[in-house]
Structure 1
Amino acid sequence: MGDLTSTGQQAQAVTGSAWRLNKPIHSERHVRVICIGAGASGLLFAYKMQKHFSNYNLTIYEKNLEVSGTWYENKYPGCGCDVPSHAYTWSFEPTQNWSAVYSGSKEIFSYFDTFANKYGLKRFVKARHQVTGAFWNHEKGGYDVTIRDLETGQDIHDYCDILINAGGVLNNWRWPAIPGLDKYKGTLLHTANWDENVQLEGKHVGLIGNGSSGIQVLPTIQPHVRQVTTFIREPTWVTPVQGLEQHVYSPEERRDFAEKPGALLKYRKEVESGMNSQFAIFLKGTQTNNDTHDYMMGKMKEKLNNEFLEEKLIPEWHVGCRRLTPGVGYLESLGKENVKVVYGEINEVTEKGCLCDDGKEYPVDVLICATGFDTTFKPRFPLIAPDGRNLQEVWKEEPKSYLGLAAPGFPNYLIFLGPNCPIGNGPVLSAIESQADYMMKLIDRYQTENLATFSPKLDAVDDFIAYKDEFMKKTVWADQCRSWYKNSPEGPITALWPGSTLHYIEAMLDVRMQDWDVSYNGNRFAWLGNGYSQTEVDPSADWAFYIREEDDGQPLSKAGQRKLLNKSGTTKSSTTYNIAGNL
């Protein structure tokens, strides 16, 4: 357990204990929270705080002009989500308005913007404000936060008891590390910083990258440009998993979603269950992985219909080592007359275009870099712990978190989509909801149980990383592919959870306080207060609520709670799991 060491903290502890001793048990002290980012995670955090808490102050600092994070920023041609639309909503907030199985970025922005407006979440948001540093305040036991007002250029200062980082993973874009990029005299674009004023019609366009962004861009621009030269340096699996191909919803389908009772819920559950059934794809040697490999191999060959492209673009490593991408129309575009595929490395960018390792220079009018983001998980600002360490430096070589949401030695600091969370294991928004709920439980303890600080124990994080590294050996992610899931083909897997999304949801149901270093404001039992319960100060409450005619209480075992939660016995699954651990 941590100690309160400074005079200021000791004085604060005495004051805190005195306040609690005059209040009923579990009295809620005021808590100040700062959240960084108003993307999907930040908006959900605000929704949960507003729904479940009182006596708090929440400020969300957002660098953009609008909410929705990456879905506000990314506006390149063909930009969309590679997760089916009806699985890319909050579990409690469906919409019948999606136009297709895979929706574009404008539709997704509209979903989160509508969510923010519906629940009044924008009142918490300060747009065009970027956090530039967070420093532990020993006197107050929280963080002094510096923020740059991007409109005025001035720095402002704030303080919080608890700091939430909802800055996201895929929104800190970067140029490719290719020499000479600054020499190029044509129009240079990055997919994540798109200039909508640039006209591509009639131009010879160069496209660097065949990740998710490049796969979306090519088929969108190909019919409208004079020529595309696409530069590809490595193979990748491109095709949707069977059953989740792109499909535009018909007027009849959308009408059923809107008007037929239970139709939308049934469809959403089918999509979500389908995604949750695919985790075995990522485990080497499973029938699901083998079948998916054969299916994708056949589909890629069918769509490419070109022996050279088949040889270069179909990987030798397992399906799923890199993120699976739907690739609607991408493979077909590679065979169009106005598309040239250059396979290999770009040695340098010249004034005219790209000089490749085949010794040829490829001039282009416009050069599009679909080269992704900084996915190192380091904070984008100095985050200074009580002992003076900066998390940017601590996580420089390998980020090590507790269950994807906290760092040892950095108290009262929580992260959405941190290292080794299920960002590629299944439905990601479901995982974000689990993280938000976990955070709410910690904040509740902080507010009602006299906690001063909380941070995961180092040995707990070390044990988690050891478990994770051992588990990953049997996954396809361990293959030697180049992926943002890890910092090198041979490096440790830092982005993904060691299990399925459903596995993560169950793991996050309980807060294991034995894994946390906790310090208190004075006597740890000061939360017991003045001897009165909260029931006795509520004249509208039932003062004998525990007297019943039968035992109708909630299950007390994990097994019983789980069966109640997942409605065990109400559906018939097509997939079974045996005691040997094979699907």
Structure 2
Amino acid sequence: MADFPVPQHSTSADRDAAQRLHNPIHAERHVRVITVGAGASGLLMAYKLQKHFNNYSLVCYEKNPAVSGTWYENKYPGCACDVPSHNYTWSFEPKTDWKATYPPAQQIFEYFNDFATTYNLFRYIKLQHQVVGAYWNNDKGGYDVQVKDLASGKIVNDHCDILVNAGGILNNWKWPAIPGLDQYKGTLLHTANWDDNVDLTGKHVGLIGNGSSGIQVLPAIREKVKKVTTFIREPTWVSPVPGLEQKIFTDQEKSEFANVPGKLTDYRKGIESGLNGQFGLFLQNNKINLETREYMINAMKEKINDPYLESKIIPEWSLGCRRLTPGVNYLESLTKDNVQVVYGEINSITERGPLCDDGNEYPVDILICATGFDTTFKPRFPVVSDKGENLQDVWSQADPTSYFGLAAADFPNYLIFLGPNCPIGNGPVLCAIEAQADWMCKWIDKYQTTNIKTFAAKPEAVADFVAFKDQFMTKTVWVQNCRSWYKGRPDGPILALWPGSALHYLECIKDLRLDDFNVTYAGNRFAWLGNGYSQTELDETADWAYYIRDQDDDEPLSTAGRRKKLTKSGTVFDRAAVNFSGAKDVEMRGVVEEQPTARL
């Protein structure tokens, strides 16, 4: 059989296409993957590749001296997850000994670090190595990746066929844009860059911000310091949902989770079903939203018990416009004798402390900025396409857009965890990360078993998705005029969230939509047909008549059939009609209908 001609300046993909003629169909060529970041997403990607693939190489570059990403970096007092602990795990990797419903960050770090150890993932990881650039190589195909060895300062060069950015969203911290911050003479701290050597005992501490970090810091430091002056510029919803209040697990409960078959699984399923049954919280004028709002108002008033603070802290805008937070002991702390609440804008920072729009200066010994992260979605290093475009520039000049939060238009062989408009706040997030990893693995499989050279999301597919997303978002509470990292500006488009529920997202990305991608091939697109042999008949251990059987036990061929089998449709009959607020009505397809929702 004659080989396909190989171009004079051939890539590895071109050479592979010619070689495929000598191999059986779907021969697995070697694929080189580079993953940026060894937080939760990067570790999961390493696990998935190890579990499902052969003939691959992987390196995961991590800038920190340890894995776990944000759970290694964030060490401020009170740092915790706002998702119930037993459901902040991989679906297949439960943990039986969580300390509490909302455990400290250190225990979450240990979970992901133990995950990496258990599955021997450290062999793929290079710690203290920071990716500083990725440039498409038109001659070789794939990306030339520049990596800085943070220990030596040297730049190391690498190359990959497929680049996966698992750098995350909430770990590129930033100082607040307040004039004079650099003039402050006291001790300046940021929650995401915490200095454990600073002793807060007996100090007058200023705290800027009432997002998730600020809400966790205040009750954690209040009893240690002399005084806290907390600066708040806007209201926010703070309260755990009914049934998910903070709880310390007893030794007996931990023992039962570990030793009673089904105990922990049932507990986790109950919480996850409850979280997945509450998407109506994010829809405007939905009964769940309205009734839960009333519950939250009453719960917050009971804890604050101060009419003035209530008027400043409880929002007018709908529940869910900003990310909800349990806020364990936060509201109660606001009314303590050694806590001063200053509401409004900080005009500048003087040598002594914040100067606010009430005309007063507030001197403090230590100033803590709980002011969040750069959430613009721009990659933190140049990613340059085959057309010479830098994604940093593309997403700086216009709102960042993506294909389902997974890929950027016209950037070949580049995949993204938790990109623009992913389900980061729509419900349980780790299940969405798992679905993203599976979707990426399906592309890697396509690449490995065919002679695909490049795959890149079509601009028109991304544009259509963004148009659908913008139209859908008009029905949600997220478009209301609140400050939120979900959007670049209070009145701007929703850049972070998926237009639907978490379960909606799982169904959406279950299969690849190849028609949404521009795909190029090395040589003849059918070179993967190979030498005429199947993989089966070359496997001496395989059943060469596997399709002969005594009954039709085929997997479902329809989307509906596959979904019903996967979700065990028809097996749940006793789901209680209970949600966060106790309401029994949920909105489906724009119509309020009677339908049971999940129990927490």
Q: Which letter does structure 1 place at the counterpart of 2:217?
A: V
Q: Could you tell me which residue of structure 1 aligns to residue 462 of structure 2?
A: 461
In 1, Cα distance between equivalents of 2:409 and 2:448: 21
* Residue 449 of structure 1: how far off its partner (Å): 1.4
Q: Could you tell me which residue of structure 1 aligns to residue 112 of structure 2?
A: 112
Q: Could you tell me which residue of structure 2 aligns to residue 3 of structure 1?
A: none
* Residue 394 of structure 1: how far off its partner (Å): 0.6
In 1, Cα distance between equivalents of 2:62 and 2:127: 5
In 2, Cα distance between equivalents of 1:204 and 1:13: 63
Contact between 1:7 and 1:139, CA under 8 Å: does it hold in 2? Answer: no
Flag the 1:379–1:288 CA change in 2: closer, same or farther, 3 A: same
1:371 aligns with 2:376: no
1:87 aligns with 2:87: yes
Q: Could you tell me which residue of structure 2 aligns to residue 174 of structure 1?
A: 174
Q: Could you tell me which residue of structure 1 aligns to residue 351 of structure 2?
A: 351
- Aligned runs of 1:53-92 on 2, under 5 Å? 53-92=53-92
Q: Could you tell me which residue of structure 1 aligns to residue 561 of structure 2?
A: 560
Flag the 1:448–1:474 CA change in 2: closer, same or farther, 3 A: same
In 1, Cα distance between equivalents of 2:433 and 2:388: 30
In 2, Cα distance between equivalents of 1:298 and 1:556: 50
Flag the 1:29–1:582 CA change in 2: closer, same or farther, 3 A: farther
Contact between 2:11 and 2:140, CA under 8 Å: does it hold in 1? Answer: no
Q: Could you tell me which residue of structure 2 aligns to residue 389 of structure 1?
A: 389
Q: Could you tell me which residue of structure 1 aligns to residue 596 of structure 2?
A: none
Contact between 1:24 and 1:528, CA under 8 Å: does it hold in 2? Answer: yes
Q: Could you tell me which residue of structure 2 aligns to residue 205 of structure 1?
A: 205
In 2, Cα distance between equivalents of 1:9 and 1:234: 60
In 2, Cα distance between equivalents of 1:198 and 1:58: 40
Contact between 1:8 and 1:139, CA under 8 Å: does it hold in 2? Answer: no
* Residue 574 of structure 1: how far off its partner (Å): 3.9
1:406 aligns with 2:411: no
Contact between 1:25 and 1:527, CA under 8 Å: does it hold in 2? Answer: yes
Contact between 1:66 and 1:127, CA under 8 Å: does it hold in 2? Answer: yes
TM-score normalized by the length of structure 2: 0.95
SS at match of 2:526: helix
SS at match of 2:289: helix
Flag the 1:170–1:156 CA change in 2: closer, same or farther, 3 A: same
Contact between 2:11 and 2:141, CA under 8 Å: does it hold in 1? Answer: no
Q: Could you tell me which residue of structure 1 aligns to residue 580 of structure 2?
A: none
Q: Which letter does structure 2 place at the counterpart of 1:63?
A: K
* Residue 10 of structure 1: how far off its partner (Å): 4.9
SS at match of 1:158: strand
Q: Could you tell me which residue of structure 1 aligns to residue 535 of structure 2?
A: 534
- Aligned runs of 1:138-157 on 2, under 5 Å? 138-157=138-157
Q: Could you tell me which residue of structure 2 aligns to residue 420 of structure 1?
A: 421
* Residue 8 of structure 1: how far off its partner (Å): 6.1
Q: Could you tell me which residue of structure 2 aligns to residue 543 of structure 1?
A: 544
Consecutive unaligned residues of structure 2, counting only runs of 5 or more, are 1-5, 578-585, 594-600
Contact between 2:304 and 2:310, CA under 8 Å: does it hold in 1? Answer: yes
SS at match of 2:341: strand
In 2, Cα distance between equivalents of 1:13 and 1:287: 55
Q: Which letter does structure 2 place at the counterpart of 1:353?
A: G
SS at match of 1:144: strand
In 1, Cα distance between equivalents of 2:359 and 2:7: 68
Q: Which letter does structure 2 place at the counterpart of 1:431?
A: A
In 2, Cα distance between equivalents of 1:377 and 1:87: 26
SS at match of 2:228: strand
Contact between 1:70 and 1:170, CA under 8 Å: does it hold in 2? Answer: yes
* Residue 7 of structure 1: how far off its partner (Å): 5.8
Q: Which letter does structure 2 place at the counterpart of 1:420?
A: N
- Aligned runs of 1:141-540 on 2, under 5 Å? 141-396=141-396, 397-540=398-541
* Residue 12 of structure 1: how far off its partner (Å): 4.7
In 2, Cα distance between equivalents of 1:128 and 1:18: 39
**1:493-515 deviation per Cα after TM superposition (whole angstroms, max 9, x unaligned):** 00000000000001011101011
SS at match of 1:163: strand
Which range moved further: 390-399 or 42-51?
390-399
In 2, Cα distance between equivalents of 1:7 and 1:17: 11
In 1, Cα distance between equivalents of 2:353 and 2:127: 38
SS at match of 1:290: helix
* Residue 348 of structure 1: how far off its partner (Å): 0.6
Contact between 2:7 and 2:14, CA under 8 Å: does it hold in 1? Answer: no
Q: Which letter does structure 2 place at the counterpart of 1:301?
A: K
**1:107-155 deviation per Cα after TM superposition (whole angstroms, max 9, x unaligned):** 0000000000000001100000000000000011100000111000111
Flag the 1:357–1:9 CA change in 2: closer, same or farther, 3 A: farther
**1:6-43 deviation per Cα after TM superposition (whole angstroms, max 9, x unaligned):** 96665655422221010000000001110000000000
SS at match of 2:173: coil
Flag the 1:96–1:11 CA change in 2: closer, same or farther, 3 A: closer
Contact between 1:456 and 1:517, CA under 8 Å: does it hold in 2? Answer: yes
* Residue 278 of structure 1: how far off its partner (Å): 1.4
Flag the 1:55–1:549 CA change in 2: closer, same or farther, 3 A: same
Contact between 1:9 and 1:138, CA under 8 Å: does it hold in 2? Answer: no
In 1, Cα distance between equivalents of 2:229 and 2:18: 71
Contact between 2:13 and 2:141, CA under 8 Å: does it hold in 1? Answer: no
Q: Which letter does structure 1 place at the counterpart of 2:316?
A: E
**1:146-192 deviation per Cα after TM superposition (whole angstroms, max 9, x unaligned):** 01110001111000000000000000000000000111111100000
Q: Which letter does structure 1 place at the counterpart of 2:385?
A: A
In 2, Cα distance between equivalents of 1:32 and 1:373: 31
* Residue 49 of structure 1: how far off its partner (Å): 0.2
In 1, Cα distance between equivalents of 2:206 and 2:229: 5
In 2, Cα distance between equivalents of 1:331 and 1:552: 58
Contact between 1:431 and 1:505, CA under 8 Å: does it hold in 2? Answer: yes
- Aligned runs of 1:127-138 on 2, under 5 Å? 127-138=127-138
Contact between 2:14 and 2:522, CA under 8 Å: does it hold in 1? Answer: yes
Q: Which letter does structure 2 place at the counterpart of 1:530?
A: N
SS at match of 2:216: helix
Flag the 1:456–1:8 CA change in 2: closer, same or farther, 3 A: farther
In 1, Cα distance between equivalents of 2:186 and 2:553: 72
Cα RMSD between the aligned structures? 1.2
Which range moved further: 12-21 or 391-400?
12-21
SS at match of 1:564: helix
Flag the 1:554–1:36 CA change in 2: closer, same or farther, 3 A: same
In 2, Cα distance between equivalents of 1:550 and 1:494: 50
Flag the 1:11–1:92 CA change in 2: closer, same or farther, 3 A: closer
Consecutive unaligned residues of structure 1, counting only runs of 5 or more, are 1-5
* Residue 540 of structure 1: how far off its partner (Å): 0.3
Contact between 2:421 and 2:499, CA under 8 Å: does it hold in 1? Answer: yes
Contact between 2:207 and 2:228, CA under 8 Å: does it hold in 1? Answer: yes
In 2, Cα distance between equivalents of 1:237 and 1:75: 24
In 1, Cα distance between equivalents of 2:9 and 2:576: 57
In 1, Cα distance between equivalents of 2:414 and 2:14: 24
Q: Which letter does structure 1 place at the counterpart of 2:557?
A: L
In 2, Cα distance between equivalents of 1:356 and 1:578: 46
TM-score normalized by the length of structure 1: 0.98
Contact between 1:33 and 1:56, CA under 8 Å: does it hold in 2? Answer: yes
Contact between 1:402 and 1:456, CA under 8 Å: does it hold in 2? Answer: yes
Q: Could you tell me which residue of structure 1 aligns to residue 29 of structure 2?
A: 29
Q: Could you tell me which residue of structure 1 aligns to residue 582 of structure 2?
A: none
In 1, Cα distance between equivalents of 2:204 and 2:260: 49
Contact between 2:190 and 2:368, CA under 8 Å: does it hold in 1? Answer: yes
In 2, Cα distance between equivalents of 1:582 and 1:285: 10
